[in-house]
Structure 1
Amino acid sequence: MRRSFRQVDVFTATAYLGNPLAVVVDGDGLTDEEMQRFAGWTNLSETAFLLPPTDAGADYRVRIFTPTAELPFAGHPTLGSCHVWLETGGVPRDPAMIVQECGSGLVRIRRDESGPAFAAPPLLRSGPVEEALLQELVDGLGIKRDDIADAAWADNGPGWVAVLLRDADAVLALRPKSVPVDTGVAGFYPEGSPFAYEVRAFSPYGGIVEDPVTGSLNASLAQWFLGAGRVTAPYVASQGTVLGRAGRVRISADDTDVWVGGSVVTCVTGTVEL
């Protein structure tokens, strides 16, 4: 049957400079196999399917697939799915706070004139990185051990290890050969820059892959840097520069939450036969 379809660009106000997401608006009735097959066919980092909620506290439900597996949560699919749900007629019970149901539970999303922002999920693992793993990262990233200013587990689902280099230029200069785990690398810009730091995200699956703009990683980096007093919110992080993108991730914080936001632009509207 024909189903409503959108392809959106997330973490950018300018189409084709962010991170693309495919969204099937009416995914009800599709099997796991059909969803996975379509996600493999789109060949985007993630494809999302909107569904009626099963939790009474949620406004809608989303299932998120990479080309090879389902994810319980991911950042740019959360913002992109929320944008599409609203654009296609979704009406939240609370206009100020949308509640998304996904594999990891309920995610709160607030919206303002700048676009949606999700509450960063709690870290599943934090703390120091084992020295043996750091040495693997040094070798794979093509850097020296003393190039790493700090490192920490920043796992909020995808299993991120976060690495802080001396500055943003060092991050932009990276030409990695491999990484043993999902790895986020950041470096701060000089004071007075419009961006607090530059981010790059590398995955080891199917050879080394760099993600254009990564919501989950930016969430855990913000929790790490804010908790360590390295930065104060609100601020904007930059990602995707080396890939010719202009990802802009807005970070804010209140007494209880770190909020990860960004603009979303609809690039493709139509139907898909599924």
Structure 2
Amino acid sequence: MDYWQVDVFAERVLAGNGLAVFPAACGLSTTAMQGLTRELRQFESIFLEQGASPRSFSARVFTVEEELPFAGHPILGAAALLHHLHAIEDSASWELQLPNKRVSIATRREGKGFYAEMDQGQAEFGQTLDEQMAAAFAAAFGSERDHRYLPQVVSTGLPYLLLPVTTAGLAAAKQRQLLDDDLARLGAAFVFLLDVDAREGRTWDPLGVVEDVATGSAAGPVAAWLVAQGLEQRDQPFALAQGRFLDRPSRLDVRVTGDGRVQVGGGVQLLAHAHLLPSPEELA
């Protein structure tokens, strides 16, 4: 079984967010998928199986800790690799079926790599925090809030608590306590810190140990929130930045259509191609 390593939201290799893609993962158990993700130590890995049509695949995404119902950069990276493996034309489209969501992705060749854009659908807006709750979450990251805006839970498949912070607050941020129970009460999975003026953000794994480089599943909620706040316009593309504090600068292109559908895209670079020696049965 072959697998690939790709860089997503990247204009060159060794930038953006790294990803392991298993383009033909038939026969791998859940235990094997989780174990391989831990072994490769990428922030996420994605495992594909051929669907009913040549451009349709089922997909499962894992972090080193758990399976995710939806994720951004794995979907874009997987679609770009599928283009490389299966499409001779310059532009193509794909359908990935995740456990709870079906995603359409358009890909095209661009320079030495690819460009991929997904339709995340319409955003769902959840609870807006009051001042006391907002202060508590900011304190959990040792970060200075941007008091012009209150944090809010927003989702396009994975719910994030969007926490507006100052430029200095974003730079100084570090998770200082476990937030799982507090987030669960809000119906959120992660916190995404956002410097509104710079359109730049940061987020961490649930333990606050590993910082994500570029988070496509958060870019959609951020884009929808900025439009809802009147800070961006529908049908006008703009970019978000992430990864600067990890020396992995990343550009996440976003757009909210006239009917409210959220589009997230970015460059994808192929980095490495490897062969898995054990059989799926040996990994079970």
Q: 1:105 to 1:149 in 2, by over 3 A?
A: closer
Q: Does 1:48 align with 2:46?
A: yes
Shift of 1:143: 3.2
Q: Name the structure 2 match of 1:236.
A: 239
Q: Are 2:46 and 2:59, in contact at CA under 8 Å, matched by a contact in 1?
A: yes
Q: Name the structure 2 match of 1:149.
A: 149
Q: Does 1:211 align with 2:212?
A: yes
**Separation (CA, whole Å) in 1 of partners of 2:171 and 2:145:** 18
1:105-164 alpha-carbon deviations (Å, 9 max, x no partner):
210112345711111244455241255542331221213566563311113343310011
Q: Are 1:150 and 1:165, in contact at CA under 8 Å, matched by a contact in 2?
A: no
Q: Name the structure 2 match of 1:109.
A: 105
Q: Which runs of 5+ in 1 are unaligned?
A: 190-195
1:50-99 alpha-carbon deviations (Å, 9 max, x no partner):
10125x6961221111123211210000001101111111589xx65322
Q: Which amino acid aligns with 1:37?
A: G
Equivalent pairs, count: 261
Q: 1:174 to 1:35 in 2, by over 3 A?
A: closer
Q: Name the structure 1 match of 2:186.
A: none
Q: Are 1:58 and 1:101, in contact at CA under 8 Å, matched by a contact in 2?
A: no
**Separation (CA, whole Å) in 2 of partners of 1:109 and 1:17:** 22
Q: Name the structure 2 match of 1:221.
A: 222
Q: Which amino acid aligns with 1:80?
A: G
Q: Name the structure 2 match of 1:140.
A: 140
1:198-242 alpha-carbon deviations (Å, 9 max, x no partner):
11112332x443111000001100011112211232111110111
Q: Give the secondary-structure state (helix, strand or coil) at the position aligned to 1:17.
A: coil
Q: Does 1:18 align with 2:16?
A: yes
TM-score for the superposition, normalised by structure 1 = 0.85
Q: 1:38 to 1:176 in 2, by over 3 A?
A: closer
TM-score for the superposition, normalised by structure 2 = 0.82
Q: Are 1:148 and 1:163, in contact at CA under 8 Å, matched by a contact in 2?
A: no
Q: Name the structure 2 match of 1:73.
A: 70
Q: Name the structure 1 match of 2:271.
A: 267
Q: 1:85 to 1:145 in 2, by over 3 A?
A: closer
Q: Does 1:38 align with 2:36?
A: yes
Q: Are 2:5 and 2:270, in contact at CA under 8 Å, matched by a contact in 1?
A: yes
State the Cα RMSD in Å: 2.5
Q: Are 2:13 and 2:269, in contact at CA under 8 Å, matched by a contact in 1?
A: yes
Q: Name the structure 2 match of 1:250.
A: 253
**Separation (CA, whole Å) in 2 of partners of 1:58 and 1:106:** 13
Q: Name the structure 2 match of 1:187.
A: 195
Q: Name the structure 2 match of 1:63.
A: 60
Q: Are 1:49 and 1:64, in contact at CA under 8 Å, matched by a contact in 2?
A: yes
Shift of 1:16: 1.3
**Separation (CA, whole Å) in 2 of partners of 1:97 and 1:88:** 13
Q: 1:34 to 1:149 in 2, by over 3 A?
A: same
1:17-62 alpha-carbon deviations (Å, 9 max, x no partner):
11111011210111222212111211211111110125x6961221
Q: Are 1:115 and 1:263, in contact at CA under 8 Å, matched by a contact in 2?
A: yes
Q: Which runs of 5+ in 2 are unaligned?
A: 184-189, 280-284
Q: Name the structure 2 match of 1:129.
A: 129
Q: Give the secondary-structure state (helix, strand or coil) at the position aligned to 1:109.
A: strand
Query: Percent of pairs identical after alignment?
Result: 25
